[in-house]
A and B are shown apart, each in its own frame.
Chain A
Amino acid sequence: MSSPALARVVELVVHRGTQRVLDGVSETLCQGEVVAIMGENGSGKTTLIEAFAGLIPLRSGDVIWAENGNSIVVRDSQGRRNQPPSMGLTLQKGGVCGDETVMERISVSLSVAGIEHSDDQIMELLSLWGLEHRANDRLAHLSGGQSRRVAILGGLAPAALSNSPLVVLLDEPSEGLDDSAKDILRNWIRSLSSRNHAILMATHDKDISSSADRVLTIRDGSIEEQIGKSLGEICDLPQSGERGDKTPVSSLLQWSVKMEVRNPIETVGRVTPALVAILLSYALLSGQDFQLQDSRLHASLILAPAFISAVSSPALVQRLSESDCGRWWNAVLGPIARPALSITGASILLPIPITYLSWAVLSGTFNGGEYEDVAMWLWIPALALMDLAIAATALHLLVSDLSRSSSAPAPLILIVLVWPFLELTDALSSIMDNGMSWSLSVHDPVVSCIVASLISALVWLAAVMIPDY
């Protein structure tokens, strides 16, 4: 084909365990092309789609996309990874979170791709797929078929509203669709192709693959190519709009906040153990004579509830594990996925209020009146707990990369965070005994807090950088 290439893979070799799934595969996706990938179960269809999206580690080869005439290496076998250009992506499991509404799902797909849009445009898209009456329903409340329509529309919408050619990757798009939805899908595929978008889809459905210009069959790691039938009718699509700047990180942040406001499992999940810890400590300390105890015990009990809330598993991990939602974000964010997710998923708002609450409840049990000035400086060690929370989230995300992450004992690699906690206990204890000091010797609270933050930062760096090297 003479059309410009939008994406290509060069000499890809991908393994699954010791088995070679793709063996030296090279393919180019050009503007206006519809390409179907077919093959038996386990032949590598999904692997090829996800390799194009930059999700799969490569034994050798490169994945290269084009944007504005420039080539971007989305992934190579040396560990290099870059954020791919705007694309539409529908994964086999959907890549959606059950707490999202239909409207939000489409909006997020468009924002991440940098497509400016209005609610009216989204409603128009939904109406074309028979979903406008479900716009404000949560995906978890839809039927399987409706949820699948939303996931597919989320993959097609960026191309539908884009005025420049995009790549659309669809993995088993017809799975879960009824015949009328399949017709809509086939016609949309041909219509998007007529607007110069490139569509690559993995499918075993002959009705859908009949809309392809080329059919690739994967067998024993290699590809055999045949000419496709290019069937399907061109239908009316909404007017395309302007492309703005991609805002993946702010889209992620807004998405996280919305999910949490709608279903505050993160807040409840972190605050509950913290409150239990405060009340337990209060029950144990009341009526005890702690005149002879040093302030380290008190300091550790004050900080323990916030520490517990910081290291608890973030709700974001559960949300991302639903229907490969995390994988979708990973694909569209590229290498900034891990750092961005570790910060958005961390409990950075809770350490300070929980620490002050803990102080308010517990200080009465150990003559807190002697430590009058402590409340003025309590925010300093509590601030360092925010760094610890971000490091803990990065570790939880590292473990969640495993396909059966619920079977992996995450607390074992969180043990290292005891060190920052001990440093902060020392800092608070020093403030309680000697008042606040701003000097910089090893025994001073500021240094202890800095050391705690540095340890947390090093742990965070290791957890976000090593896996994506």
Chain B
Amino acid sequence: MNGEIEAIVTYSILAAMLFSYTFSRISSLSKLKRQIAGKPTEDSRE
């Protein structure tokens, strides 16, 4: 046993955590920007 599998498993878990968190944050930011841009203003509602 030279630990290769442990290294691969560790990197996989950590990468999954990092990537999923980062991409969820980026998509939250984009969604919020869209929501604010598309929010009806007083003028447009009247």
A and B in contact, CB less than 8 Å: no
| Chain B residues engaging chain A, CB cutoff 8 angstroms | none
